[in-house]
Structure 1
Amino acid sequence: MAGLSDDDRELWEAWKRAADGIRGRINAEITAETGLSETDVTVLTHLHDGGGSARQNELATLMGWQRSRLSHHLTRMQDRGLVTRTPVAGGMQVRASTMGRAALLQARPVHAAAVRRHLLDGVPPRDRVRLLSLLRMLAD
């Protein structure tokens, strides 16, 4: 089995540095200003977009996470008062608490500003459509 060519390895390493660096800087800003992690914001956003609640297994699917990993994260969020979980037939219903909704409202402009600064501002407008197309292709 052959390894990567030098050009392929360079592309792979650049991709990792860019993705990790951008996400790390955005997450650091959100955490510093709101105390939320990127995952907290993602969970709260999915709950908000779903009308304030979602089934735990559906949330795991939306996030691409294993149910056990999400369950552990939701336990930490529940301990901090950001979400509540209620047993329902066949699973758990997760709801954003009043504190969680307020935290999301605080985090959204911080998140948006960080995404603009660390991602969007670095991609010339003429290249955004192509970049989006490539990322969608890779995600599928």
Structure 2
Amino acid sequence: MSSDTRWLDRHEQEVWRALRELIWGFESAMDRQLIRDSELSGVEYSVLAALSEAADGIMRARDIAQALDWERSRLSHLLKRMEAKGLVARTECESDARGFNISMTDVGHKAIVQAAPGHVSFVRENVFDPLTDEERDALHSAATKIQASIRSAGLWENRGAPKG
């Protein structure tokens, strides 16, 4: 053991364990809510949400990967599964034969319209409602600082899509 290690004190251990459990549990809870209410996984919802926010409803696959900060290979596998479920359509990009344009199908649109109210309620009830305005500001500040620290260490890029 290195004598330079800055060990966590008791309070820091409690904070870390609470954060770790939140990180691990929140994603699972969100997936369960989405699947229960709409039969969409969290990652499918994320892709459909990105497409629904695109100006013309069409995005290059690489742009979806970049917007969601996912590895392109994992997104490609997800898009194939979503295409098989009829949620998205993949078409060759006219300006780049190596790329694909992704668009939401009518089935995908119906799915996100069905999923969005429950998902927003889940987020509101579990993230915002339990906190005061000051706690929301503190959470935003803390989350932003933690992300910046991880990014500056070069460990954030290409996190890969969550399982789903």
Q: TM-score, normalised by structure 1?
A: 0.91
Alignment of 1:58-137 (within 5 A): 58-88=63-93, 89=96, 90-137=98-145
Output the CA distance in 2 between the equivalents of 1:130 and 1:11.
Answer: 14
Report the identity percentage: 29
Match for residue 20 of structure 1?
24
Kindly state the Cα deviation for residue 3 of structure 1 after the two structures are TM-superposed. Answer: 6.8
| Structure 1 segments unaligned to the other structure (5+ residues) | none
Please list every run of at least 4 consecutive aligned residues from structure 1 whose deviation after the TM superposition is greater than 4 angstroms.
none
TM-superposed CA distance for 1:28, in Å, is 0.7
> What is the aligned counterpart of 1:5 among 3, 8, 17?
8
Deviates more, 1:37-46 or 1:7-16: 7-16
Q: Name the counterpart of 2:161.
A: none
| Counterpart residue identity of residue 84, structure 1 | A
Q: CA shift at 1:122, angstroms?
A: 2.1
Instruction: Report the structure number with the largest CA radius of gyration.
Output: 2
Per-residue CA deviations over 1:100-130 (Å, capped at 9, x if unaligned) read 0111111110101111222212222231112
- Report the structure, 1 or 2, having the larger helix content: 1
Number of aligned residue pairs: give it. 140
Gaps of 5+ in 2: 149-164
Give me the whole-angstrom Cα distance separating, in 2, the residues matched to 1:17 and 1:123: 18
AA in 2 matched with 1:115: V
Measure the CA separation in 2 of the matches of 1:135 and 1:14: 14
